[in-house]
Structure 1
Amino acid sequence: MQIHHRSLSERVFHAFAFEILAIGISAPLAAWITGHPMLSMGILTAVIAMIAVVWNMLYNWLFDRAQARLGFDRTYWVRIGHACGFEGGLIIIAIPFVAWWLDISLWQALILDIGFVLFYLPYGFLFNLGYDKIRQNLVTAD
């Protein structure tokens, strides 16, 4: 079993890399799918990304603590659970902002957020899987 101890600077790097790449992909896609202006969707995804950065650092810190306490490995199934838990928490946090920003109902915001989740779930899984592999190669190279 490999336990991941990460510094605050690494957590910040991980969160920002995750969000910058996600904004670059999701904002144009969301504007195209919803018909909302690119600027509006760009601002929406950027604000959600800022919220997500804070949530990402907190969530991953809690995840690391759970791993240290429970002693599990970061298997594919654990990463799937990790991605689902992260996105579920972010939905709860983001829906009120989405509804306000786009002047839509909470129900419509939930539906839109489900669309974001359909993007972010596989993205989060693949990003973190790749990040773990790259990190492992860098750590073992030292």
Structure 2
Amino acid sequence: MSDKVILRSGKDRLRYTVSFELLLMAILVPVGAAFFDKPVAEIGVLGAVLAGKAMLLNLVYNWLFDKIDARSGRVSSERTHVGRILHAFGFEISLTITSLPIYIWWLGIGLLDAFVTDIVVTSFVVAYTYFFTLAYDRLFPLKRRNSLLEA
């Protein structure tokens, strides 16, 4: 019997992305406002801008990563711990590259301060991504389809 590897649907990817960002903002916005001594609303808007950018990047990045998994015969919800770590770090590197200019402009800080800010946020988000995705895969697992049964 042959198993057919399936990918997450667009609707499932959207549910993942929106829930990921909403929970992340609920954690990071109050902390960022306190740290930068800025109004929660100002950091909230910055968070929304960064979250919007991250959601778009997330959709593309996860689609590409899932395609790589599928070519290797893996279902994304069966990713190994090493695969999950590579997934999380790769995503955060792509976010850093696209976030630094936003931090510099929005917060009026220099490149080094923006980089340090991003490293602190990224360090938290890498762990958050791992545990959020693990929990999501347990709550919404993908099942392999048997191609002989579907024919």
Q: Tell me whether the two structures share a fold, i.e. TM-score over 0.5.
A: yes
Partner of 2:133: 128
Structure 1 unpaired stretches of 5+: none
Letter in 1 for 2:61: Y
What SS is found at the alignment partner of 1:126? helix
| Consecutive aligned runs of 4 or more in structure 1 exceeding 6 Å deviation | none
How many Å apart are 1:41 and its aligned residue? 1.4
Partner of 1:53: 55
**After the TM superposition, which of the residue ranges 101-110 and 88-97 deviates more from structure 2?**
101-110
Alignment of 1:101-116 (within 5 A): 101-116=106-121
**Bigger RCO (CA 8 Å, 6+ sep):** 2
- Aligned match of 2:25 in 14, 19, 23? 23
Letter in 1 for 2:121: F
Greater helix percent: which structure? 1
How many Å apart are 1:55 and its aligned residue? 0.6
Distance 1:4 1:114, change over 3 A: farther
What SS is found at the alignment partner of 1:36? coil
- Aligned match of 1:99 in 99, 104, 117? 104
Letter in 1 for 2:20: F
Please, what TM-score do these two structures have when normalized by structure 2?
0.84
Structure 2 unpaired stretches of 5+: 145-151
Letter in 1 for 2:12: E
RMSD between aligned alpha carbons?
Answer: 2.0
Please, what TM-score do these two structures have when normalized by structure 1?
0.89
Distance 1:60 1:16, change over 3 A: same
Taking the aligned partners of 2:49 and 2:5, their CA distance within structure 1 comes to 32
How many Å apart are 1:80 and its aligned residue? 1.1
Between Structure 1 and Structure 2, how many residues are aligned? 139
Letter in 1 for 2:93: G
Q: Structure 1 vs Structure 2: percent identity of aligned residues?
A: 38
Is 1:39 aligned to 2:41, yes or no? yes
Per-residue deviation, residues 74-127 of structure 1 (Å, max 9, x unmatched) = 011111111111111001011101110111112211111111112211111000
